[in-house]
Amino acid sequence: MDTSLKTVLEEACRACIKLVANGFVISPYLASNFEICKNAIMANKGLKGVFTFNGKLLSAGDTCSNNKLAETLQAISDFGPSAIYNGTIGKRLAADVQVARGILSFIDMQDYRVEVTDPISVEVMGYTILGMPLPSSGAAGLILVNSYFHIPHIYQQYLFPQLHGSSVSHPLHLHINN
């Protein structure tokens, strides 16, 4: 792997590892969404392992961490893409997909070749927003972002969020979270 790419990957992973290992405090909003999705969380081993403690959903004020994700990110930081496409991460991913009756295999992971392309972008409210090019959904997302700011009645809710029942202070934050 290219040395500069490895450095960027290590730096990005380091910040993420710190966040998922140390965790974040569950907000009241997130806790209320856990309640809405309680049955789905409790029925899924992976979700239950992250969003519960001693069999109970995490509540507002609790800290949510994910040591398995921290380990996965550390492997990616240490070994680069080969950890995904030729290592245990890829093997576990393929096995999980197979259990869910999907068609992805470890051979598919090994045969996959990353194609690095330039991102697509759109300028909105003085920000440049980048997205993945086709065949990902990045183009569709950027079209939506751009269209929201060109349709007056929708744009008003971002300019004046307090008039639309939102306490979000920055309009772009409101859009991204919607």
pLDDT at 123: 79
> Which pLDDT score is estimated for 178?
42
Q: Are residues 136 and 173 in the same domain?
A: yes
**What per-residue confidence (pLDDT) applies to 148?**
62
Whether residue 125 sits in one domain with residue 69: no
* 61 shares its domain with 7: yes
pTM of the predicted protein model: 0.62
Tallying the residues shown for the chain, one arrives at: 178
Same structural domain, 74 and 156: no
**pLDDT tens per residue across all 178 residues of the chain:** 667 767 888 888 888 999 999 999 999 999 999 999 999 999 998 899 999 999 999 999 999 999 999 999 999 898 888 899 999 999 999 999 999 999 999 999 999 987 888 888 877 777 787 888 877 877 777 777 666 666 555 555 555 555 445 554 554 444 444 4
Counted domains in the chain: 2
* Domain interval for residue 160: 120-177
Q: Are residues 130 and 107 in the same domain?
A: no
Residues 92 and 40 in one domain: yes
Last residue of a domain, one of 90, 111, 132: 111
